[in-house]
Amino acid sequence: MPVVVVATMTAKPESVDLVRDACTQAIEAVHGEPGCQLYALHEADRTFVFVEQWADADALQTHSTAPAIGTLFGTIGEHLDGAPDIKMLAPVVAGDPAKGQLRP
């Protein structure tokens, strides 16, 4: 069963470009990880949001210890305004099922 994750991070005002660059550099490697179905970065002001979908909990677990993630958080850790907020979500499907949930 797919696992959806939303990871939100806020950059310090002087670090927005650095955080954006580090996040975008991680994307290609993460896209190549087993079980990655979606890993999309979004931005608003100083806030960066990854919307992710993994094939299953094992794929997400592997991702959490992958080199790209270690490098990313090693680079941006001190440039964030607080800790990242990472939530695993369960779909609440309503309306048209094709439009009411992320799909692999």
Residue 6 has pLDDT above 70, yes or no: yes
Question: Which residue is listed with tokens 């692999």?
Answer: 104
Provide the percentage of residues in the chain whose pLDDT is more than 90.
Answer: 84
Contacts of 52 (CB under 8 A, 6+ apart): 4, 5, 6, 7, 36, 38, 39, 40, 60
In a 3-state reduction of DSSP, which class is residue 59?
helix
Q: Would you say domain 3-89 falls under CATH 3.30.70.100?
A: yes
The pLDDT value recorded for residue 104 is 65
pTM, to two decimals: 0.90
Tell me how far CA of residue 8 lies from CA of 43, 46, 49, 97, in angstroms. 10, 10, 4, 26
Domain extents in the chain? 3-89
